[in-house]
Structure 1
Amino acid sequence: MNKSLCCIALLALFTTACSEAPKEETAVDTTQVQTDAAKTVPVGDTSQNSLDWAGSYEGVLPCASCEGIQTLITLQSDNSFVQETVYLGKDESIFKVAGKFDWDSSGSKITLSDGSKYLVGENQLFMLDIEGNRVSGELAEDYILKKKRI
């Protein structure tokens, strides 16, 4: 009987010695954390997070007063860009613009610092109209810049 009493006492001692002290809870506003995360990273697969969009895109965009606008846009992974344009059949000087671009909240469209907008697709950029919509009609294919292969 003495042995079983000692065993029970030791078991009780080990049980209480191994239990953790109550932890102090810290209040975290999870709503704010979730809201901040939603502002920076779109949810699900988007052009921004699922395509290999960094690189150079080129093509000839339509021009009302020239033969076309030879365009080369290079997008960097740090959201910087360089755009080089040549107005074919005119001066043919290279106009170069560099700056930053922003992704829209859906992670599918970018806006360059000059205000021009593009839909980012698989190995191509679709130039958008002033309202941010894809150009439709007969000339729609002329508003696509193709990614250069290196």
Structure 2
Amino acid sequence: MNKSLCCIALLALFTTACSEAPKEETAVDTTQVQTDAAKTVPVGDTSQNSLDWAGSYEGVLPCASCEGIQTLITLQSDNSFVQETVYLGKDEKILKLMGKAAWDEKGQKITLEDGTQYLVGENQLIMLDTEGQRITGDLAANYVLKKKQ
């Protein structure tokens, strides 16, 4: 009997020693926190957070009714921009557009206030079509603005 009582006492001791005290739960909605964080800063390396994208970009974009569109876009680190365009072989008046550029959720593309979209690359802006896709074909290389050094 003494042996049985000793075994029961040891068994009770081992069972209580191995159990953990209940943890206090915190009422934090991790889904909401993750969603809010994803809206503000893209995860991983993106054009927005890993490239030195602020600066001036220039080039001549194709034009159906003129010799080309001389374009200069200056991007500031606060997302403000100034776009200056001249339709070559036409009026040649400088058209100026100012405002805030909006980054897409992936931190790769910007949209200017007139709806024009650009893919932001290393020292270049690549003009996109109206659906936000890269322009393909023979003239695709002409839709690139190079960063001024």
1:79 maps to 2:106: no
Query: Displacement, 1:34?
Result: 1.0
Query: Displacement, 1:27?
Result: 2.5
Name the structure 2 match of 1:88: 88
Using the alignment, how far apart are the partners of 2:40 and 2:139 within structure 1?
34
Using the alignment, how far apart are the partners of 2:30 and 2:134 within structure 1?
37
Using the alignment, how far apart are the partners of 1:47 and 1:65 within structure 2?
33
Using the alignment, how far apart are the partners of 1:68 and 1:57 within structure 2?
16
Cα deviation per residue 1:86-118 (whole Å; 9 max; x = unaligned)?
000010010000001111111101100110000
Would you say how many aligned residue pairs link Structure 1 and Structure 2? 126
Q: Which amino acid aligns with 1:90?
A: K
Name the structure 2 match of 1:101: 101
Identity %: 83
TM-score w.r.t. structure 1 length?
A: 0.81
SS of 1:34's equivalent? Answer: helix
Using the alignment, how far apart are the partners of 1:50 and 1:69 within structure 2?
30
Using the alignment, how far apart are the partners of 2:26 and 2:143 within structure 1?
54
Structure 2: gaps of 5 or more residues: 1-23
1:143 maps to 2:140: no
Name the structure 1 match of 2:121: 121
Query: Displacement, 1:26?
Result: 5.2
Q: Which amino acid aligns with 1:129?
A: D
Using the alignment, how far apart are the partners of 2:100 and 2:26 within structure 1?
39
- Give runs of aligned pairs for residues 28-67 of structure 1, distance below 5 A: 28-67=28-67
Provide the aligned C-alpha RMSD in A.
1.2
Moved over 4 A (4+): none
Structure 1: gaps of 5 or more residues: 1-23
